[in-house]
Amino acid sequence: MSFRLESDSMGEMRVPSDAYYGAQAARAVENFPISGFRFSQAFIAALGRIKKHAAATNAALGLLDSKIADAIQRAADEVIDGRLYPQFVVDVFQTGSGTSTNMNANEVIANRAAELLGGKIGDRSVHPNDHVNMGQSSNDVIPSAIHIAALDGIVHRLIPALDELKAALQKKTAEFDNILKIGRTHLQDATPMRLGQEFSGYASQIEHGIARLNNVRPHLAELALGGTAVGTGLNTHPEFARRTIDALARDTGLELREAGNHFEAHASRDACVEASGALKVVAVSLFKIANDIRWLASGPRLGLGELKLPATQPGSSIMPGKVNPVMCEMALQVGAQVIGNDFAITFAGAFGNFELNTMMPVIAWNLLQSIDLLTNASSIFARRAIEGLAADHVRCEANVERSLAMCTALAPVIGYDKAARIAKVAYETNRTVREVATELSGLDHKTLDRLLDPRTQSGA
């Protein structure tokens, strides 16, 4: 590999000769060989958008040469569409402000812009700080990029994926509405219900999750851009933030706005913690739904067996014909990961000292990963598990008459103690509640049939 020599404020640095990044990014690569994790394309695209519209604003304000601004915007477009993504080489675990990644972006865009203007990589004809980073600081750019990428992911990808899952569950709610089954509480038999009612609860969980995500949108929409180093706006034009954020809002289709208080926007990452909390609730809901379905489909012969999952792949390397609930297990693992990510984000969010949070890269990494995981898992779970789900009508309804909880409907008429005795005798003699009640309740057959009608017990 051949190298070129570049300089930053700390001196000379060898940089691969064909790299668009410069001395600061190369120094960060040497300093942080930690995980091999790189920021997602969504985050890098958000950085590119900020640099693009910042350049346009600065040119419109007469602060930046229009030719340089145009070249910066063209280079930023290549960042946004992913063509320059391999040039973002800094590890996630780096300086807590994300300065290394901000400078990685500044250097890549500056060098590519210089090239577009007929110059050479590293010639500084477009300067990473003076031109690309004009009116900005890592301290307002990085949190703004986190908010933009997270909000874009939630609005344009995760919520549509959850809508797809909700629709699939609602379809099963209607399809299964007439199938009687026994409810379960504490893993024990409970009163009768309909399978469709059970699925209506799952659909409602997802609906509530979507509402929770919508509730965090106004807070993620607030951008720190314009506050520069500590929130005072030093070295930026008074119109810079408003104009740039308006352009970002038009570009992304998001209702973005300047933070009402730049000191809060710099010092805390509370909006990210809140968003992660909403994502965690969605993960918990997905976990519960997938786990229920996994148990209800257990068997196929010696488990509960009320549901039949679509077969997606062979389940065992040793047991021929075995099919496992792999889509449910995928969803469970995604739920576990998102719950873990939330703890990391919560802890990192508490690490704001004075005017800056210094765990922004790990917040960005975990938050955007959670959004991606839930987006993909929700859509795939809907298509490859829920849509092909079938019910075993016979299995569901055969269990209802055998349930001891059927005696619950007798209690208002014959009293709790007598109904409990009927349940106990039924259990001890391995008979149904109906059979024992015929002997011990003192009620006629017509009344017993009315009270013990499982469809009536299942409600409206």
Residues with a catalytic annotation lie at: 186, 316
Amino acid type, 78: E
Establish whether the linkage from the previous residue to 300 is cis, with ω within 30° of 0: yes
**Structure tokens given for 205:** 């969980």
Beta bridge partners of 193: 181
Angle at 247 between CA 243 and CA 253, to 5 degrees: 140
Residues contacting residue 277 through CB under 8 Å, at least 6 positions apart:
342, 346
Q: Which residue has the tokens 């300067």?
A: 127
The number of helices, as runs of H, and strands, as runs of E, in the chain is 18, 10
In 3-state terms, what secondary structure has residue 136? coil
* Residue type (1 letter), 315: G
Q: Which of 269, 142, 164 is nearest to 216 (CA)?
A: 269
Tokens 């765990």, residue located: 359
Angle in degrees, 0-180, between the axes of helices 195-220 and 270-296, rounded to the nearest 10: 170
Q: Judge contact between 88 and 108, C-beta under 8 A.
A: yes
DSSP 230: T
d(CA 39, CA 150): 13
Rounded Cα–Cα distance for residues 351 and 147 (Å) = 18
| Strand pairing class (222-223; 257-258) | parallel
Distance CA 16, CA 18 (A): 6
Task: At 7, give phi and psi (nearest 5°).
Answer: -125, 145
CB atoms within 10 A of CB 360: 28
Q: Which of 379, 339, 388, 335 is nearest to 162 (CA)?
A: 379
What is the rounded distance in angstroms from the CA atom of residue 175 to the CA atom of residue 294? 19
Q: Where are the alpha helices (DSSP H) in 61-137?
A: 66-80, 99-116
Task: Give first-to-last CA distance, the chain, whole Å.
Answer: 73
